[in-house]
A and B are shown apart, each in its own frame.
Chain A
Amino acid sequence: MPELVNPPRRIVQSGSVDIVVQYGHYVLEAGGERSGADAPSRDGLLFGEAGWLAVVCGSDFVPVPCRVEILKRMPPAVDRRWDMVAEHDLDLAQGVLTVMGSQGHHPHLTLSNTPGVHRIRVHVRNRERALHIADAQPSVDISPVNPEEHLIQLWPVNRARPAETLLGPDSYAVSYLSGSV
């Protein structure tokens, strides 16, 4: 079950959950229609449309520990302890963000904030290690130890900005974009 925590002052709401990954990604759903003609990820980490965003994982089908934080404003600095950090806009039209598997039907965590465009900052580490460990341990209980970790932060913004890689790419993104994984 997702763990919702009582946040410190700069955090509006937060939660932690092991996300069930399907087809190597999960989805941040903000109420937008999915066209079904997915553009491939350009940075090896994120792809999506105005109302949803997919996060590419090293794990193909193994749950990934993830923490999600809605912030009052942009963090003062990029946390460089992660392997890769990238940003993307997402329109929370109804003020609700749902973290879910890519195939629907499995919402894991739902957070809320004021409706409108938010900036999403996605932090990942150990995707390359997860790729090999997960594939070596397929299991019905889908619970092998996963070294991969994700942190997602978002905050409201007044104007749209292009997607941006702030740290990295990590080795998994390089392999993903070259087609070697």
Chain B
Amino acid sequence: MNETFIPTLTYSAVANPAVSDVAQHVYSAQASLPSHWGVPSQGNWLSRDTDLTDQAANRMTACTGVLPSCDEFPLASTHQGAAFSAAGDWSAVTVSASANSSQGGITGAFYTSNRMVEGEKFWVKAILANGSASW
């Protein structure tokens, strides 16, 4: 991958209505969290974490009590997940299982199509159903 290029993971409720709940959550989290994770103008990229123990720790920190289907931001599959970020600098909400699986599919496709390996950086963009983008 070109080291100067940082790809963008997009959750678009316009292109994929099933992911609307997730897009809304990311949109709000990017606006409100102190680090504004994944917004290029703020400079705080996310980076891929392929370690399953790290991912489980992120999930446990963010999602305990968030039932039945939890969406966390920054993503559990990043080094900026809840277990590795300051309290108050991550967010978790309940979303539908279908939104969660759609998000996982989009994220997985992004990782594989961009051949994202451990530690690689990326930005995140959320697009709401009305077309509003987080950046």
A181 at the interface (CB under 8 A from B): yes
Count residues of chain A with CB under 8 A from any CB of chain B. Answer: 39
For residue A175, which residue of chain B has the nearest CB?
Answer: B97
Judge whether A103 and B68 touch: CB under 8 Å. no
| Chain A residues near B116 (CB-CB < 8 A) | 104
* A40 CB–B CB distance under 8 Å: yes
B52–A36 CB distance below 8 A: no
CA distance A60 to B72 in the complex (A): 12
Interface range on chain B (Cβ under 8 Å from partner)? 35 or more
- State the majority secondary structure of interface residues on A: loop
Complex Cα distance, B67 from A138, in Å, reads 11
Cα distance A104–B106 in the bound complex, in angstroms: 12
Our pick among B56, B59, B107 for the contact of A103 (Cβ within 8 Å) is: B107
Asked whether A138 lies within 8 Å of B60 as measured between CB atoms, the reply is yes
CB neighbours of A139 from chain B (8 A): 56, 60
A24 at the interface (CB under 8 A from B): yes
Which of chain B's residues have a CB closer than 8 A to the CB of A102? 101, 104-105, 107-108
Q: Are A105 and B16 within 8 A (Cβ)?
A: no
The residue on B at minimum CB distance from A105 is B50
The one of B16, B63, B105, B112 that contacts A54, using a Cβ cutoff of 8 Å:
B105
Contact at A34–B97, with CB atoms within 8 Å? no
Whether the pair A179, B96 counts as a contact (CB closer than 8 A) is: yes
A40 and B98 contact, Cβ closer than 8 Å, known pairs A60-B70, A102-B104: yes
A47 touches B105 (CB 8 A): yes
Which residues between 62 and 97 of chain B lie within 8 Å of chain A, taking CB atoms? 63-64, 67-70, 76-77, 96-97
Chain B CB within 8 A of A80 CB: no
> Per-residue CB proximity of B99-134 to A under 8 Å, as 1/0?
011111111111111001000000000000000000
Closest 6 CB pairs of A and B: A23-B104, A38-B105, A34-B109, A36-B109, A40-B18, A138-B60
| Interface residues, chain B, with chain A CB atoms under 8 Å away | 15-16, 18, 50, 52-53, 55-57, 59-60, 63-64, 67-70, 76-77, 96-98, 100-113, 116
A-B contact pairs, 15 of them (CB 8 A): A22-B55, A23-B101, A25-B105, A34-B113, A36-B110, A39-B18, A40-B18, A47-B105, A54-B105, A61-B76, A103-B107, A103-B111, A104-B108, A138-B63, A139-B60
Write the residues of chain A forming the contact surface with B, with a CB cutoff of 8 angstroms: 20, 22-25, 27, 33-41, 47, 54, 56, 60-61, 101-106, 131-132, 135, 138-142, 175-177, 179, 181
